[in-house]
């Protein structure tokens, strides 16, 4: 359920702000989640506010997930359908207590396996109870990718998991992947952004061989390597 707290905005109100902080000096970003002034609700992710949603007496937020009714293996390795579920205002999928089919939060979501799009973790809904966040299975793919990031350089200075099995429609692998390739996870194309990739299940902080590709309009538009802390075109 929603909790009350004191937060500081870098704008005059929640509609115009772009960030939320926990301190007056605006140096400490607020935790990821949903924030509301009772009329406008906005999701905060990595200290950035997403588009506002206007409602009266909000009790819930709408969450987009990927779903497979059979197994976690099918969800990650074959694919799932895109679904929308409701959660109590202020909750996020990774730590929330329940998911529902309706905005009144009265009908539990269908039993099955859920994850945020292309995330490496999932939660199982069983007998209308949402299970713990669990690391997804490793699929037999041609290479591994990270979750989506908005910039390339972030991979050069932070440690991110490269543990999502992926394939290229062309059949190219880690060594032959090239500009123009279409990359898929579970048969679903990637959203725009930057992805670290490697031949093995690894992380950017431990692998000396990972690279980064950018997806734009469903295709790879550039491939880079981290050199001296910045992305350099390959």
pLDDT in tens, 47-58: 899 887 755 555
Mean pLDDT, the chain, whole residue set: 87
**With 90 as the cut, is the pLDDT of residue 102 above it?**
no
Q: Are 191 and 227 in contact (CB under 8 A)?
A: no
User: Any idea what DSSP says for residue 5?
Assistant: -
Ramachandran angles phi, psi of 74, nearest 5°: -65, -40
Tallying the residues shown for the chain, one arrives at 234
Q: Give the mean model confidence (pLDDT) for residues 11-15.
A: 82
Q: Which pLDDT score is estimated for 62?
A: 81
Q: Which pLDDT score is estimated for 190?
A: 92
Q: Which pLDDT score is estimated for 124?
A: 97
Q: Give the mean model confidence (pLDDT) for residues 41-64.
A: 76
User: Any idea what DSSP says for residue 75?
Assistant: H
Q: Which pLDDT score is estimated for 77?
A: 75
Q: Give the mean model confidence (pLDDT) for residues 151-164.
A: 93
Q: Which pLDDT score is estimated for 70?
A: 94
Q: What percentage of the chain reaches a pLDDT higher than 70?
A: 93
Q: What is the pLDDT of residues 128-154, one digit of tens each?
A: 999 999 998 866 667 999 999 999 999
SS3 content of the chain, % helix, strand, coil (to 5): 5, 40, 55
Of 85-89, 116-120, 228-232, the range with the highest mean pLDDT is: 228-232
- Surface-to-core class of residue 190, CB atoms within 10 Å of its CB (0-12 exposed, 13-18 middle, 19+ buried): buried
């Amino acid at each position: 359920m929603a909790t009350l707290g004191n937060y500081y905005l870098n704008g005059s109100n929640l509609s115009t702000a772009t960030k939320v902080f926990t301190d007056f000096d605006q140096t400490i970003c607020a935790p990821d989640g949903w924030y509301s002034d009772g009329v406008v609700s906005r999701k905060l992710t990595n200290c950035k506010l997403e588009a506002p949603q206007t409602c009266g007496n909000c009790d819930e937020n709408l969450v987009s997930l990927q779903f497979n009714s059979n197994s976690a293996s099918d969800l990650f390795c074959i694919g799932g359908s895109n679904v929308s579920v409701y959660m109590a205002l202020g909750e996020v999928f990774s730590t929330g207590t329940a998911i529902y089919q309706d905005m009144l939060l009265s009908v539990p979501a269908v039993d099955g396996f859920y994850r945020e799009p292309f995330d490496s973790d999932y939660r199982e809904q069983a007998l209308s109870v949402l299970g713990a966040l669990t690391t997804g299975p490793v699929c037999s793919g041609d290479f591994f990718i990270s979750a989506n990031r908005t910039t390339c350089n972030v991979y050069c200075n932070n440690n991110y998991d490269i543990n999502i099995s992926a394939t290229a429609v062309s059949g190219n692998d880690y060594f032959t992947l090239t500009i123009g390739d279409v990359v898929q996870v579970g048969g679903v194309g990637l959203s725009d952004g930057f992805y670290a990739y490697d031949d093995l299940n690894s992380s950017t902080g431990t692998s000396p061989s990972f690279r980064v590709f950018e997806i734009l309009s469903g295709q790879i538009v550039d491939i880079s390597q981290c050199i001296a802390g910045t992305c350099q075109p390959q």
